[in-house]
Structure 1
Amino acid sequence: MPPDMNLRILPRTVQQETVDKLRLAIFSGVFEPGSRLIESQLCVQLGISRPSLREALRSLAAERLIDFVPNRGPSIPALTWEDMTAIYEVRELLEVEAVGRCSQRIPEEQLSELERALSAFAEAASSNNSLARVTTAADFYSIILANCGNPILEEIHRGLVARISFFRARSMSLEGRAQQSFSEMQEIYQAIASGDEKAARKASRKHILKAMAAAKESMESAS
């Protein structure tokens, strides 16, 4: 007989709650690119200990959302247009392939989930909730990636999700961009639903290129 094992799910840890809150704050622009994160201030704002904060900051550093600069401490990366271009180029390679493969593989029940995720994004796009836009868009793509039939592709994309979401928040800060994103994502969904791989890939590429142009415009207007 195997030994008894306690499989009870424990409450979310302080570190994970801290990671989630700081990640959303970064996405929503609470911390400007290039700005320092003052640990003592964050501990007071979040109501946590410094060890808990530092553990959370290490997790965010692994996602490339913060940097640890010698003699300066943690800070938000001052991303360049070259950084942004590199992320969007990789995103195009991964997502266009995933969308095309998904159109040939997604089962009916998962297609229904994808439709619900699209509806959730449509609701977020019509609101002023920037965080909801980012999270619902990420949910839409997570279903596509989970049904592309290539777990390695999904794993690599998951490593970029935080930085993709960072730029997504910037691009959708432009007036009207969220509604345009919904229209483009609707095209992707319709192509997947009809099993049209060529149209799915074309719609995905169009969406990413327009998102990149919007992110660039947002970045230039902020400089």
Structure 2
Amino acid sequence: MPSDLNLRILPRTVQQETVDKLRLAIFSGVFEPGTRLVESQLCVQLGISRPSLREALRSLAAERLIDIVPNRGPSIPALTWEEVTSIYEARELLEVEAVGRCSQRISAEQLQALEKALSAFEAAASSNDSLARITTAADFYSIILANCGNPILEEIHRGLVARISLFRSRSMSLEGRAQSSLAEMKEIYEAIAASDEKAARKAARKHVLKAMAAAKKSMDSGN
């Protein structure tokens, strides 16, 4: 668990920085699944008022990163494998379709942006920066979704991004997973660059299924 994560924020950006800091703390494993969040402690750590904290917690609840139970307060959800499976199944449906459609629609300029995002993930995969891996992987997919030609599909996927990133952070903690993920994402990029819809869909499905297997292994090992 990172012990040097600085949670203190600047007053002028209280709302968004509180959400961002807490989201990164959850992704980093600072708060374990099932952990109850004590508002008084968080206010001290973050240096903010309780009303500001509660507004941020409501935003995170909307992303399904925390649960807020009446008379019990906020906590980090401890998902069952069945619930995790449902999220990955939805991710597979959305990303396979988006990647396939993107392969037939992406412009040369956007393809360059996708290649740049892949390079950023490659650099992150070779480092020990787990948060960089999460953000660069999310950037790669955001370009694909933005170029799939269906804004509703993109909107639905955006609603899953936080939970996808949460599982991505856990699976990426496994030895060798970041490099495997890189190889799978390269396959996706190459198929899109070749305008090969069939290969793009196949590569996207392979990537999600491999990620799901890594998430299962991570959960079984208690990571």
- Whether TM exceeds 0.5 here: the answer is yes
Determine the structure 1 residue equivalent to 2:4. Answer: none
CA distances 1:146-188 after superposition (whole Å, capped 9, x unpaired) = 0000000000000000011011111111000000000000000
Determine the structure 2 residue equivalent to 1:193. Answer: 193
Determine the structure 2 residue equivalent to 1:84. Answer: 84
Determine the structure 2 residue equivalent to 1:120. Answer: 120
Cα distance, 1:72 vs structure 2 = 1.7
Determine the structure 2 residue equivalent to 1:158. Answer: 158
Aligned mates of 2:127, 2:86 — CA distance in 1 = 30
Aligned mates of 2:213, 2:102 — CA distance in 1 = 25
Structure 1: 5+ residue stretches without partners:
1-10
Determine the structure 2 residue equivalent to 1:53. Answer: 53
Determine the structure 1 residue equivalent to 2:180. Answer: 180
CA distances 1:188-207 after superposition (whole Å, capped 9, x unpaired) = 00000000000000000000
Determine the structure 1 residue equivalent to 2:144. Answer: 144
Aligned mates of 1:151, 1:167 — CA distance in 2 = 24
Cα distance, 1:70 vs structure 2 = 2.6
TM score, norm. by length of structure 1: 0.94
Following TM superposition, the consecutive aligned residue runs of length 4 or more in structure 1 with deviations greater than 6 angstroms are: none
Partner SS for 1:148: coil
Structure 1 vs Structure 2 CA RMSD: 1.1
Cα distance, 1:13 vs structure 2 = 3.0
Determine the structure 2 residue equivalent to 1:222. Answer: 222
Determine the structure 2 residue equivalent to 1:28. Answer: 28
Cα distance, 1:106 vs structure 2 = 0.2
Partner SS for 1:74: strand
Determine the structure 2 residue equivalent to 1:8. Answer: none
Aligned mates of 1:12, 1:163 — CA distance in 2 = 28
Cα distance, 1:12 vs structure 2 = 6.5
Identical-pair percentage: 85
Equivalent residue runs for 1:197-216 within 5 Å? 197-216=197-216
Larger radius of gyration: 1
Say if 1:182 and 1:12 are closer, same or farther in 2 by CA, change over 3 A: farther
Aligned mates of 1:12, 1:150 — CA distance in 2 = 36
Determine the structure 1 residue equivalent to 2:38. Answer: 38
Determine the structure 1 residue equivalent to 2:98. Answer: 98
Aligned mates of 2:68, 2:26 — CA distance in 1 = 15
Aligned mates of 1:109, 1:12 — CA distance in 2 = 36
Residue type matched to 1:193 in 2?
A
Aligned mates of 1:77, 1:69 — CA distance in 2 = 11
TM score, norm. by length of structure 2: 0.94
Determine the structure 1 residue equivalent to 2:13. Answer: 13
Aligned mates of 1:111, 1:24 — CA distance in 2 = 29
Residue type matched to 1:17 in 2?
E
Aligned mates of 2:45, 2:79 — CA distance in 1 = 26
